[in-house]
Amino acid sequence: METRNDGSLPVYLQIVELIVRDLAAGRLVDGEKLAPERKLAAELNVAVGTLRKALTELETRGLLERRHGSGNYVRAIADPASVYTMFRLELIEGGSLPTARTISVDLMAKPDVLPDFGTSAKAHRIRRRRFVGKRFAALEEIWLDAAYAETLTMTDLSESLYLHYRTRLGLWITRAEDRIGLGRVPDWTPDDFGLASGAPVPEVQRISFDRDGESAEFSYTWFDPAVVRYVARLK
C-alpha cells in the first residue's frame, strides 16, 4: 500500500480509496484482518490519527468491521462509493492508487476526428500523465465540452476529474462507454513514458454521459501493458 501527500484527495481518503481498490482487485479479501493500527500507519507513512480517520470512514461505508480486542476486518460490498469507480486500469499485480499530473489544458475547436459529443463547437483538451501506484502507466487526452465550463486551467484541475466536475462544475458523470482497440502512442508523449511515440499500444476511447444522459466528454487513454491492465468487473 502506498499514499501520496500531494494528491487532490485528503490523505485519509487516499487510504480509503486504496483499500477499496485492493478489495476489488483481490489483494485484500472479504473478512481479512488488517495489520495493527500503529504498524499499518507506519507502513503507509501516515499518522495514527490519519489512519483512524480512514478506518472510521471505511466503517461508515460498511467496508470495515471493528472488533473490540481483536482488530479491524475488511468487508467487500457491492457498491463501495469509490471516487475511482470508473477508473479501469490496475497494476498487473492488481490494485494500487491512481494519480495524475496534468501536462496541458487548451480550449479549441473540436477536431473532425472526434465523435459527436456535447453541444458546443469547442472543447477543453486536457492532456495528462496517469500513474498507478506511483508507476507511469498511461497517457490521457480528455475533451470536455466547453458548454460545461467557460475556462479551465491546470491549477483548477484535481487528480480525479469526475470529482472536480461534480464539485466545481456541477457536472455529474453517471455512466461511460469504453471501446478498446489498438492505437499508437501520440506524438506529444513525454520522454519518460515507457513506449516511444508511434509505437503500437492498447487504446481506450471513452464517451462519458451526464445525469441527463447527454454526452459531455470524450477521451483517449493509451496505456503501457507491461505496467497495467484494463479491468472491468461484471456483477
The CATH number that applies at residue 97 is 3.40.1410.10
Residue 2 is assigned to a structural domain of this protein: no
Residue 5 DSSP symbol: S
Q: Cell 460498511, residue?
A: 62
Query: Is 68 in the same domain as 120?
Result: no
The cell for 141 is 487526452
pLDDT in tens, 161-207: 888 898 889 999 999 999 999 999 999 999 999 999 999 999 999 99
Confidence (pLDDT) at 129: 96
Query: Is 203 in the same domain as 130?
Result: yes
Residue 79 is assigned to a structural domain of this protein: no
Residue 1 is assigned to a structural domain of this protein: no
Query: Is 109 in the same domain as 160?
Result: yes
Query: Is 56 in the same domain as 96?
Result: no
Query: Is 109 in the same domain as 182?
Result: yes
Confidence (pLDDT) at 159: 75
Residue 82 is assigned to a structural domain of this protein: no
Residue 214 is assigned to a structural domain of this protein: yes
pTM of the predicted model, to two decimals?
0.83
First to last CA, the chain: 26
Residue 148 DSSP symbol: G
- Strands in 77-214 per DSSP E: 89-91, 98-109, 122-132, 135-145, 173-184, 200-210
Query: Is 133 in the same domain as 167?
Result: yes
The total domain count for the chain is: 2
Residue 6 is assigned to a structural domain of this protein: no
Query: Is 128 in the same domain as 63?
Result: no
Confidence (pLDDT) at 79: 72
Residue 68 is assigned to a structural domain of this protein: yes
* Secondary structure (DSSP) of 23-39: HHHTSS-TTPBPPPHHH
Confidence (pLDDT) at 7: 46
For residue 55, what are the domain limits?
11-74
Average pLDDT per 10 consecutive residues for the chain, totaling 235 residues: 56 90 85 94 94 94 91 85 86 86 96 96 97 94 96 82 89 95 98 96 98 96 97 78
The cell for 77 is 460490498
Query: Is 146 in the same domain as 187?
Result: yes
Closest of 40, 42, 45, 32 to residue 3, by C-alpha: 45
Contact 12, 67 (CB under 8 A): no
Closest of 87, 72, 101, 66 to residue 21, by C-alpha: 87
Query: Is 30 in the same domain as 97?
Result: no
Confidence (pLDDT) at 235: 61
Query: Is 163 in the same domain as 65?
Result: no
Confidence (pLDDT) at 85: 82
Domain with residue 39: its CATH number is 1.10.10.10
Confidence (pLDDT) at 8: 65
Query: Is 59 in the same domain as 123?
Result: no
